[in-house]
Chains A and B, each alone.
Chain A
Amino acid sequence: MLSDGVQRLARRAAVAALLPALLACDRAWNDPYPGAEHGANILYSAFSQRPRHLDPAKAYASDEYDFISQVYEPPLQYHYLKRPYTLIPATAAELPKVQYFDARERRLPEAADMRAVAYSVYELRIQPGIRYAPHPAFALDASGKPAYLSLTRDDLRGKARLLDFPLTGTRELTARDYVYQIRRLAHPRVHSPILGHMGEYIVGLKEYAERLAAEDKRLNAGRKAGETAAFLELDRFDITGVSEVDRYTWRIRIKGKYPQFSYWLAMPFFAPVPIEADRFYSQPGMAEKNITLDWFPVGTGPYMLTENDPNSRIVLLRNPNFRGEAYPAEGEASDQAAGLLADAGRKGPFIDKVVFSREKEGIPYWNKFMQGYYDQSGISNDNFDNAVRISSTGDAGLSESMEVRGIGLKTSVATSTYYLAFNWLDPVVGGQGDAVRRERARKLRQAISLAVDFDEFISIFANGRGIPGQGPIPPGIFGFRDGPSGINPVVYQLRDGKPQRRPIDEARRLLADAGYPAGRDARTGQPLVLYLDTTARGPGDKARLDWYRKQFGKINVQLDIRTTDWNRFQEKVRKGNTQMFFLGWNADYPDPENFLFLLYGPNAAARFDGENKSNFQNPEYDRLFEQMKNMDNGPGRQEIIDRMVAVLREEAPWVWGFHPRDYGLYHAWLSNVKPNQMARNGMKFYRLDAGLRGQKRAEWNRPLVWPFAVALLLLLLSLLPAIRSWRERERSGAARGMPAALP
């Protein structure tokens, strides 16, 4: 160990060698945040991919929802703590009242036969007094007129950000803003991804979109390149199925019965957008400065977006006009013990500011989390062994190094499913042709289902973070059956009350029954070769591709892996030109319909361009789906779902892969965190102890100066012989000193 004196000297040398700026800091030298933020009530988080859209009519990805869910408020939301996921009002005064009507506009009782229902009417009423976050679009000048709604390009000179507009204003949220957003879904230049889907349900939306498109074309005919498009007045035409009843109430008319529509009302697609904001952002010159609704959202939520540099950082600031929302007082049974009810009844948000920094790479992200500069983190495969310890019973716990730092682990099963799909149109593994052929293919699919061991896949490639699929429905969604009654009997059997994979000999027997004894076609003697289309082709994918081959090799089936780029892969799947492929699905809403529709015949990709990518077709399944999809959750619906899942297990159009389990790490100073797979608006309930964070950061990041000083010293010392040698040469003659230069 170096003496104190030497250490002191070394520290001084290193400080002098670094920047004088460091001298001024009273915080850790490696603190990446400005000194002014030291000790402030700010949540630090990170994002790796820049969000493509923040416009609620366009955004459809979870990493986009991380931001806009804090800003926009749809009428409904999911309860923060309750599971299964439960809808509750957000800005709405209560859950919507749904009324059913027949084709002759006669009101029907709630329990009416679904076939008799021609229309459903959703009436929504919001709470009065909700106000928008301060925004220049609402600003008024001294005469009471809008200050920034008739700007010219000259007015925009010197304005590069939203903060450059000195005046801001606000106004009360009204039903008109919700109606306006539904109109925006049909805007021809917004390109909302759900327009096609909603056009099938919301009465008049499709026709409205066509009229708008024609009007937009007329308005912008002859527009030169670079010219700002004319503002499209969305109020000029009506959507027959959407109407404003009064200042706080509006109605949406849906074709038939579509109970899942309530879930859509909890998504940002149905959040309010004030017409002032649309007008403000549509002015000439705004888009050139990237001041658009797609980058600077305007909402009534707990936070407002004040800084958006998607290449560096995105900042949310507490909305001073937010009414406050009471922390829930009830949740799951374990929530009380987990301390998740400590803030019950208190009004959030509890955090003043949220700073999202862009971290494209996992290593710096992880290291900064470990230094205390990020308050929460996921766990990559690289860091899994450092962070998590799996007990002998298979339970996941934290490693000692994490526990010492007081880090907490929370896990939740994602409402997603990953599967290996068989193309139903394929002559070998598909479900076409005569009964004999179909039966052979069914047994082949079952044999493959048995051979491809997803328990092993989860263990090897996901560090055990997943649950083997027993069907399409993941845990947490109504219709999923846990325990022995929920296992897939084609692949698993019960032993001592626990599910175990059936022996591989059963797969070989099924293969022989399918006409391929020992992996060869009984008629031709040729080996059975199957084809898997995938986009995986990098060096990192090799182990996984080898594993696939090995699984098929267990039953002597040769697997030919056809790698292709994403575009061609999608095209092949869409056109039904594949045999097998891997795919996944992340739930839009927590309803079994959102998973079971992936195998509904009329959704087949090849024929109808739908989401049934395996083109599975089964009349019994389709009939049951139509019956189930509009039912309310209950024993009757569960029974039908059980029958549907049984059909699927027997037909095996997918190898039921796995449902991933998400692992999240949280520092001790961050509380009230409960993972929610369906909603991302929970930041309003997070609480953090900035004092503890500052203390831990200082403790974990004490600068170690002497190694740096020693390294500098060694470098200087290494030059000494050279300097001495040079001086000797200078003193000696050229001939003596430069032998090599004088040939």
Chain B
Amino acid sequence: MTAYILRRIVYAVLILIGVNLVTFWLFFKVNTPDDMARMQLGAKRVTAEAIARWKSDRGYDKPLMYNAEAAGVARFTDTLYVSKSLEMFRLEFGRADDGRDIAFEIRSRMWPSLTLALPVFLLSLAVYISFALLMAFFRATYLDFWGVALCVAMMSVSTLFYIIGGQYLVAKIWSLVPISGYAVGVDAARFLILPIAVGVIGGIGSGARWYRTIFLEEVGKDYVRTARAKGLGEVVVFYGHILRNALIPILTGSVVAIPLLFMGSLLTESFFGIPGLGSYTIEAIQAQDFGVVRAMVFIGSVLYIVGLLLTDISYTLVDPRVRFE
């Protein structure tokens, strides 16, 4: 397994360099350093000298990828790409254009994201699997039919509707929890009840339907018939055999998401006032802040690669037949 993980790390470095290059190219295709300076300095009374000063101070006065005025290796190293993008591999995120330390910002914002995303993730998994098992258990009955109909109806509704509807009903009409806001410690619970509920309920349709399909595929297999033939009860068959055998596709979809839970959710965090990372990237794109964009894309890529690696490793835990050789 060690050799496999090392091989994957080498691949990961290559992927990260590729992602880094694409991010750099895309960003500077849309924004020039002059645009960035204007965005930071404001729209009023900005002079050409002020723009030049800003670029020079922030190191954006270098050529993008190739410095024709430099000599030797410096033609490639004394460039914006090397000075701004390759720092990522040393995990030096630097400062945002508004002066804030990016690593500090990420550290302080990832915990609120996680306090929301982790319960949503765990509860969703439990609820969707339970609901899917219920539908599979009562397959071809009115419960299954209406369960699937409910799932289709719920998938057809936008996430925004669940958020606004949940806030309107639970927080405004029933006045049971705050509409939005955040607190640390135990007090965070009353702010998180509603977004967690909305997050779980909003995904029931697609989640339960997906798991139901997986379970139904397993239900018809020989080992299930054998289990029944041995006289096992349906509950034991479902939870002891079908669920275990369906874990590979479940893990494929869920383990990869675990590292990304830190990254937060744009809509939910925005509407519920949770100071997480969900909107950090999008705000940075709007503010043309390359420092934040490159850092968040880099971290997102690393976490995704870690998620894929964890998924592979988890296969060996649930299925002894899987080997990395």
Contact = CB atoms under 8 A, between A and B. Distances in A.
Contacts of B186: 21
A59 B38 CA distance: 14
A361 B189 contact: no
A21 B230 CA distance: 49
Main secondary structure on chain B at its contact with chain A? helix
Contacts of B104: 288-290
A312 to B, nearest CB: 4
B95 interface: yes
B175 A29 contact: yes
28 contacts: A18-B176, A21-B186, A28-B175, A29-B175, A30-B176, A30-B179, A32-B178, A32-B180, A52-B40, A52-B287, A61-B42, A191-B40, A193-B46, A225-B92, A294-B99, A311-B109, A312-B273, A358-B275, A361-B271, A364-B179, A570-B38, A611-B44, A611-B45, A703-B176, A704-B176, A705-B176, A722-B138, A741-B220
Contacts of A188: 53, 57
A688 B179 CA distance: 23
A32 B138 contact: no
Given A21-B186, A289-B104, 6 more contacts: A358-B273, A361-B271, A370-B172, A570-B35, A734-B231, A742-B225
B159 to A, nearest CB: 13
Interface stretch (A175-183, A242-250, A632-640, A723-731): A723-731
A714 to B, nearest CB: 14
A360 to B, nearest CB: 4
Interface of B: 30-32, 35, 38, 40-50, 53-54, 57, 87, 92, 95, 98-101, 103-105, 108-109, 134, 137-141, 143, 164, 167-168, 170-183, 186-187, 189-191, 193, 219-220, 224-225, 228-229, 231, 233-235, 270-273, 275, 279, 283, 287-288
Q: Name which of A30, A357, A707 has the most chain B CB atoms within 10 A of its CB.
A: A30
A540 interface: no
Given A188-B57, A196-B50, A729-B234, A371 B172 contact: yes
A705 B99 CA distance: 47
A539 interface: no
A31 interface: yes
Given A191-B40, A704-B174, A309 B179 contact: no
A413 B121 CA distance: 49
B141 A725 contact: yes
Contacts of B189: 19, 21
A196 B45 contact: yes
Interface in A182-196: 188-189, 191, 193-196
A30 B175 contact: yes
Contact of B270 (A60, A360, A741): A360
Interface residues of A, number: 78
B271 A363 contact: yes
B139 A740 contact: yes
A358 B45 CA distance: 29
A34 B187 contact: yes
B269 to A, nearest CB: 8
Contacts of A456: none
Given A32-B181, A288-B101, A741-B219, A567 B45 contact: no
Nearest to A197: B45
Contact of A703 (B95, B138, B174, B287): B174
Interface of A: 14, 18-19, 21-22, 28-34, 50, 52-53, 60-61, 188-189, 191, 193-197, 213, 225-226, 287-290, 292, 294-295, 309, 311-312, 357-361, 363-364, 367-368, 370-371, 373, 565, 567, 570-571, 588, 609, 611, 701-705, 707-708, 721-722, 725-726, 729-730, 734, 737-743
B30 A567 contact: yes
Main secondary structure on chain A at its contact with chain B? loop
B180 A368 contact: yes
B84 to A, nearest CB: 10
A287 B179 contact: no
A255 to B, nearest CB: 17
B20 to A, nearest CB: 17
Q: Name which of B172, B183, B187, B287 has the most chain A CB atoms within 10 A of its CB.
A: B172
Contact of B101 (A18, A290, A361): A290
Contact of B32 (A32, A567, A588, A609): A567
Nearest to A29: B176
Contact of A30 (B45, B171, B183): B171
A734 B109 CA distance: 53
A14 B193 CA distance: 13
B220 A364 contact: no
A462 B237 CA distance: 63
B74 to A, nearest CB: 16
Q: Name which of A193, A225, A226 has the most chain B CB atoms within 10 A of its CB.
A: A193
B99 A287 contact: yes
A226 B272 contact: no
